[in-house]
Structure 1
Amino acid sequence: MSAPAVPSAEPVTGTRQLVEALEAGCKPAEDWRIGTEHEKFAFTTDDLRPLPYDGPRGIRALLEGLCRLGWQPVEENGQVIALIDGAGASVTLEPGGQFELSGGLMADLHQTAAEVTTHLDQVKTVAEPLGIAFLGTGFQPKWHRDEIPWMPKGRYDIMRRHMPTVGGKGLDMMLRTCTVQVNLDFASEADMVRKLRVSLALQPVATALFASSPFIDGQPSGLLSARADVWTDTDPARTGGLPFAFEEGMGFERYVEWMLDVPMYFVYRDGRYIDAAGQSFRDFMAGRLPALPGERPTLGDWSDHLTTAFPDVRLKKFLEMRGADGGPWRRLVALPALWTGLLYDAVALDGAWELAKDWSAEQREALRQDVARLGLDATIAGRTVRDVAIDMIELAAEGLRRRGRYNESGRDESIFLSPLDSIARNGVTAAEEMLEAFADRWGGKVDPLFSEYAY
């Protein structure tokens, strides 16, 4: 989730204006960039507990420590809730204190790797003297939802009240999940639609490759990605694989129409969040919003509303790939490598579409449901996800080689796909490695995970 930005006060006068706001993201290929975000669980090393906001070993102490390294604080009601670096990157907090880097816009994956490395070095510099470490996995493996402290952000109070009214696992999503995602550009409406369809269809394959969350409350859950399973029961009005995106006539306007039907969470006014949960942005545009009678939205309100939808791939002025569990350093860079290779090379993009173009909406949805439990063993259209993954990785590697972006050693970006290639070739995900260790080396305990998978 991005850090707060200066909102646009321009009044919204009609849906065409909202369409144009998305269209403004179109840019030529030479201007395409890579924005990587990753979340991680902070914990105290002596007892493995999640961090409260306050206290000498709390989230606020971490944020203040990073300020000493050059980050600038962002406050809400006098409390630091995010950091910015002045160059486009931010550090933000998820509801349960998950610590997120929203990276800057990078020209290549070598820059992404350097950014992730620098960030992790900085947080370790601040955290280690406090007896704090960070875990890379998709779901909090040990602690129950009721044991996770809440962060002091106004929008989270609203979501906390609303989530249980629309799904069974929304609070788990907020408090106990971590992801890595990449944000990528498009050239035109047609390019956006093609990339959106490919990435929506193949997102469950990424879910399987990155599966690293087999435990809930300290025990095997029967799942390989508890994080992915959470998204199947969070809020059907704002999640899922967007079947309409595959229908004729898909474009910016169709996405806007869907977003106008996504129920609101809040309106941000004068430094505070006004509860509008379940209310209609269409009514807001007509001046009939119950939370703010007579008022009409600004483009800043629309921008906020776009962040409250959680489909597998989210459209803003770019596309957000949202299907992967968090994980260790190498997989943090592997995720943008996979999607950059597939979506930023025309030949690879065509090949990726060939993999998925004949899948029906029912098959795509069944795959979304199955990969959380079966991972690479799930099937679609007579093929295993493992086989599809191998094809995807090969296409992505070829796409990255054609990009021709080299590091100082003369190696291209395809080097960052190595961990995914190993997973696909061996057919063993991180989740399955964890389960084997739990049954053997870990003696039926999840505690060793906090050291073996710490950054």
Structure 2
Amino acid sequence: MSNPGQNDTTPIDHRAQLVEVLAQGCKPKQDWRIGTEHEKFGFVQPDDAGEGRPAFSAPPYTPKGIQALLENLAAGPWQPIYDGDALIGLKGVEAHKGASVSLEPAGQFELSGAPLKTVHDTQCEMMDHFTALREPMEQLGLGFAPLGFQPLWSRAELPWMPKSRYAIMRRYMPKVGQRGLDMMQRTCTVQVNLDFSNEADMARKMRVSLALQPLITALMANSPFIEGKPTGWLSNRGRTWLDTDNQRSGQPPLFFEEGFGFERYVDWLLDVPMYFVQRDGRNIDVAGCSFRRWLAGEPQAPLAGLTPTVGDFEDHLTTAFPDVRLKQFLEMRGADAGRPDMMVAQSAFWVGLLYDSATLEAAEALVREQPWDVYHNLRTDAARLAMDAPFPSGGLRALARRVLALAEQGLVARQLDEQSLLAPLHAIADGAPTQAEHWLNRYQTAWQGDVRPIFKEAQI
């Protein structure tokens, strides 16, 4: 989740200001970029266990944990980001300008990559990040494994990072869903952020990518375990999002309607309940309040005396969690974190589908072959069954092969030799096991029913 940033204190006088926040993301095609974000679970290496640090347990914030890791990285081309007195992230400078490091609630470590020109660039950025982590990880006796759901530990056994927005969400989440705290503490994702040229281009990309998020959930499924046992779901991260907070997540039908654009997204967002507002460097808990009522001047006790600003709206944008999120770019949010080659393939998949106009047109025609409710129902089936989920006209693997052929077509059109990066997804579409199925096989055979080896085998 986002690090705190500079708040725009311009008062909101009219709704057009909110639409303009989104419209400012429009860019000519030559300026489109690729930003890949990925998260991973930290764990204590067996050789460093002891003194209240069980093997494979999540590292604490301090001592000898996440804070020390951030401090080590901050000695390089990064600027520290604080929440009060707590170091909670890093902002890239020099070679890392445009990138940032942030913390998820239980210390999941996230690199938000810089906007880059090619998928090859984002692959290099990812591998450089892993290389930079290795020496300080070894010094602290830590490892990191990109998996979709924490495979071993319960929520009670996981730490909480000292980030004030998480304290607000921690209190609010149980009121609006059964799995919100699991989402916060026990999931990791990989997402790619992509640009649009204008409102119509954004809407087309939104329709295509939102419909196909369940397909990428199935292809990237990498979380079959909870608390050391198989659950019967291949993406427990995907399952978690089915009951987190459905007012702000999922596949809102509005996004598929004709006429969808910036104004309708703003209208939807104004009815998403608020979490917080920032004033004087601190977050004020306004969880459950209505931004729409605040703009209308209706009394809501936590917001008494506060004037809504553009910065408040920009913060509110980051607290909506649809499967594709609109900010000044589009965020693809449907995938489990996984092997580096899989995470790069996820970026290549969406770049291929969305960044070539002819391919986007063909993908939109493909999506329109099925009614909206088919993609909505697929969201649950994909999380449970991955590539064995039912789908009309030949099943999900047939859909995957058609969509991957389009993604490859789009990458070929870019003439950057990126299409080979789709290979891991092609293999799964053609019958290879998903990452989740690979781990289940290891659990049932070599691991003899003990999930703990997954940390070492999945580590970066």
Aligned equivalent of 1:40: 40
Tell me, yes or no, if structure 1 residue 447 matches structure 2 residue 455.
no
Aligned equivalent of 1:409: none
Instruction: State the distance in 2 between where 1:215 and 1:304 align.
Output: 33
SS in 1 for 2:98: coil
Aligned equivalent of 1:182: 192
SS in 2 for 1:105: coil
Tell me, yes or no, if structure 1 residue 422 matches structure 2 residue 433.
no
Instruction: State the distance in 2 between where 1:393 and 1:448 align.
Output: 32
Aligned equivalent of 1:29: 29
Identity in percent: 53
Give RMSD over aligned pairs: 1.0
Aligned equivalent of 2:290: 280
Tell me, yes or no, if structure 1 residue 334 matches structure 2 residue 341.
no
Query: TM-score by structure 1 length?
Result: 0.97
Instruction: State the distance in 2 between where 1:275 and 1:359 align.
Output: 42
Aligned equivalent of 2:362: 351
Aligned equivalent of 1:70: 77
Instruction: State the distance in 1 between where 2:124 and 2:342 align.
Output: 14
Moved >3 Å (runs of 4+): none
> Is the 1:214–1:226 Cα contact (8 Å) retained in structure 2?
yes
SS in 2 for 1:37: strand
**Which residue type is aligned with residue 290 of structure 2?**
S
Cα deviation 1:329-381 (Å, max 9, x = unaligned): 11121111000000001121122112211322321211011111111111223
Alignment of 1:48-447 (within 5 A): 48-56=56-64, 58-86=65-93, 87-287=97-297, 288-405=299-416, 412-447=417-452
SS in 2 for 1:80: strand
Instruction: State the distance in 1 between where 2:275 and 2:255 align.
Output: 24
Tell me, yes or no, if structure 1 residue 12 matches structure 2 residue 12.
yes
Any unmatched runs of 5+ in structure 2? 47-54
> Is the 1:2–1:90 Cα contact (8 Å) retained in structure 2?
no
Instruction: State the distance in 2 between where 1:198 and 1:71 align.
Output: 36
Instruction: State the distance in 1 between where 2:257 and 2:303 align.
Output: 35
Instruction: State the distance in 2 between where 1:72 and 1:383 align.
Output: 51
Cα deviation 1:388-427 (Å, max 9, x = unaligned): 111111111111111012xxxxxx1112111111111124
Cα deviation 1:9-57 (Å, max 9, x = unaligned): 111112111011111111110000001000000111110000111102x
SS in 1 for 2:241: helix
**Which residue type is aligned with residue 344 of structure 2?**
V
Aligned equivalent of 1:408: none
Cα deviation 1:424-444 (Å, max 9, x = unaligned): 112420101111111111100
Instruction: State the distance in 2 between where 1:439 and 1:351 align.
Output: 42
User: Could you tell me how far 1:3 is from its partner in structure 2?
Assistant: 2.5
> Is the 1:19–1:256 Cα contact (8 Å) retained in structure 2?
yes
Instruction: State the distance in 1 between where 2:346 and 2:71 align.
Output: 29
User: Could you tell me how far 1:4 is from its partner in structure 2?
Assistant: 2.2
- Give the paired residue count: 448
